[in-house]
Amino acid sequence: MAPGGRHPLSGGYRNSTSILDWRLDTTYAIQTFYEAEELFGGRGRWIDWDDLDYNDFQPGENAPVPGAYVLIRRYDPDQGIWNGGSHSMMIDEMTVYRTLSGRVTRVEVTILEGNSGDKVRDDRVLEDLLELTPAGSEWIGTDRKIVGFGVDLDSRGRPVYTRGKLRWVTVPEIRLSRRKYPRVHDPVWEGHFAAVAVELARYAKLVRRGPTVKGQGFDPRGIPDGKKAWTFPTKRGAAEVDLLSVHPLPIKGLILVWEGYIPTGVEVEWAGADRRFRTVPVPDLKEFRDFQGAFPFPVIFGKSGVKVRYVRIRLPAQGRKAVLQELRFVYDWGRWRESEADF
């Protein structure tokens, strides 16, 4: 369970077939995920700050819901640009104040956030979302505004949230002044990530049912994600993943998570569209052979990432079966290594 109710992304962002990793380590990567999911009709929707319309307020369509991701960033009103210093939040509960005629006057939310003063917080209240965008006069802290919201969708494209955490309160009719929505630019998004989102959306349409997997010595079903696993035989075994096309994001390597028994002699290879496989050095983990529990370790393809379509994992004969619980692809999202700002 998470704030706002059950999430379709219970395994992290890898619930998408196009992103095989649960972790996105920059706010631009998270925004790109939601943008790409929306473009190809997947499991998420991105709502920009200037989509928020109190005269036509539709939770999950042009407004957030409980459980929605909230991105804030430093805003320079003089230049009209977003200027780094990002921070992630999540809406826990939401109260919408509206008149009898249906006009929304204010939207108040309670927030859950990590990395806030080096701790997790659940005590922040945002009294009015629209006031905290570039269209309003209020600020989060001294210099941050809301960039937008990520909404999770179910398999039918409906927003996922707990209805009881979205409350409606009727207030007297009041006269509202017209909002001015300034033009705001984000040089990083416009210069790089907008194009990445389009490429990811194209790829997601191709790989809607997931990459294909073939095995030698056993029959792997899907890609290990913590729920389904590969059980390699005691005799020699291998598995090959075909991503169906070169992935639009360069891949820096893999994270292999073995359960209970760490096999020795593991071989890993990758190839681009040409199927010319390159062998990758794999750490020798003999000293961890009898480790109990889940054991993750990295396999590095290249520090700046490489263009990958195929991945092979081979195991020589072992004294016992080896179980690969999770196979994560580590992506290179570009030269912007924006760590989330402590807030």
- Asked if 50 and 145 count as a contact pair (C-beta separation under 8 A), the reply is no
3-state helix vs strand vs coil in the chain, percent to 5: 15, 35, 50
| Per-residue pLDDT tens digits for 248-260 | 999 999 999 988 7
Domain ranges of the chain: 12-206, 212-331
pTM, rounded to two decimals: 0.89
Q: Round to whole Å and give the CA distance between 197 and 140.
A: 28
Q: Round to whole Å and give the CA distance between 250 and 332.
A: 5
- Asked if 124 and 130 count as a contact pair (C-beta separation under 8 A), the reply is no
Residues in contact with 97: Cβ distance below 8 Å, sequence separation at least 6, in sequence order? 104, 105, 106, 107, 108, 169, 171
* pLDDT confidence of residue 1: 35
Rounded alpha-carbon distances, angstroms, from residue 57 to 60, 97, 175: 9, 11, 17
* pLDDT confidence of residue 302: 84
If the chain, 343 residues long, is cut into consecutive pieces of 10 residues, what is the mean pLDDT of each piece?
Answer: 46 79 89 95 94 94 97 96 93 96 94 76 91 96 96 92 96 84 94 95 94 95 90 94 97 92 91 96 72 80 92 92 93 70 55
Q: Among 120, 91, 312, which residue's Cα sits nearest to residue 216?
A: 312
Q: Round to whole Å and give the CA distance between 303 and 244.
A: 23
| Per-residue pLDDT tens digits for 305-329 | 999 999 999 999 988 899 999 999 9
* pLDDT confidence of residue 284: 76
What CATH code is assigned to 212-331?
2.60.120.260
* pLDDT confidence of residue 176: 76
